[in-house]
Amino acid sequence: MPDALTIKIERTPKVAEWLDRQRQPMMEAGADGLRSALARHFRKKNATPNARGFPRSKFWASAAESVTSAVDGDSIVVAVPKREDRGREFAPVSLRWKGGTILPREGKKALAIPLDPAVAHIWPSEHGGVATGGDYDEGATSLFWPKNSSHGFIKDNETGEFLWLLVAKTTHKPDPSVMPSEDDLRKAVARRMRSAIRGLEAEGIEP
């Protein structure tokens, strides 16, 4: 599953010679247009309320800031690097786009999914009541895993409420809305390239 989206720029015979002369500024303009279009799309997703009513993690804002673009021959490549927070890797944009499975980090037995908004974006080890080795003492929280169950919980010992769901893995379905449509991306590239052409014409460089 690639972490980069590549769009091929087709050249017509009419402007091929001129493009060869001005190829680099044109391609760089297109690359910037594509990068901006993706960043805009991610910022818009970041403004959408969380479906569960939890505080937002700012994942999409971080993704927008991390978008990079480059020119590779006659192609423009845009990449969205994986996000890390406090030394732990979050699901990359490509996983949310194409779908896939998340497993616990090495040395861990389960993934912790917040059930209460109060612990959203907080690791269980940061909440208190967690002893070394991953065992939970009788402090703030304790581990509850029913016998023969595929999942467990971390509960608040004072209120008895479940704070996190513990699972062996999570599976994500593909989500096409993660990316703008290909048509929108091509239009973004074309707009920025047309702007570059106008700039070149203003300098007296015409096709």
User: What are the tens digits of pLDDT across the range 156-170?
Assistant: 888 888 999 999 999
- What are the two backbone dihedrals, phi and then psi, of residue 110, each rounded to the nearest 5 degrees? -150, 160
Comparing CA positions, the residue from 193, 197, 174 lying closest to residue 37 is 193
Phi-psi region of 195 (alpha: psi -120 to 50; beta: other; left: phi over 0): alpha
Contact, 174 vs 99, CB < 8 A?
yes
Comparing CA positions, the residue from 77, 25, 48 lying closest to residue 195 is 25
Contact, 184 vs 176, CB < 8 A?
no
Question: Which 8-state DSSP code applies to residue 56?
Answer: P
pLDDT digits (tens, 9 = 90+) for 122-173: 878 777 654 333 444 456 788 888 888 889 999 888 888 899 999 999 998 9
pTM for this prediction:
0.74
For residue 32, the model assigns a pLDDT of: 94
Question: Which 8-state DSSP code applies to residue 9?
Answer: -
Q: What are the C-alpha distances in Å from 109 to residues 19, 150, 163, 194?
A: 56, 12, 18, 53
Rounded CA separation 62/43 (Å): 9
For residue 188, the model assigns a pLDDT of: 92
For residue 10, the model assigns a pLDDT of: 60
For residue 43, the model assigns a pLDDT of: 94
Rounded CA separation 19/22 (Å): 5
For residue 103, the model assigns a pLDDT of: 86
| Low-confidence stretches of the chain (pLDDT beneath 50) | 1-2, 130-137
For residue 1, the model assigns a pLDDT of: 38
Strands across the sheet with 4-8, in order?
4-8, 75-79, 68-72
Side-chain half-sphere exposure of 58, counting CA atoms within 13 A = 6
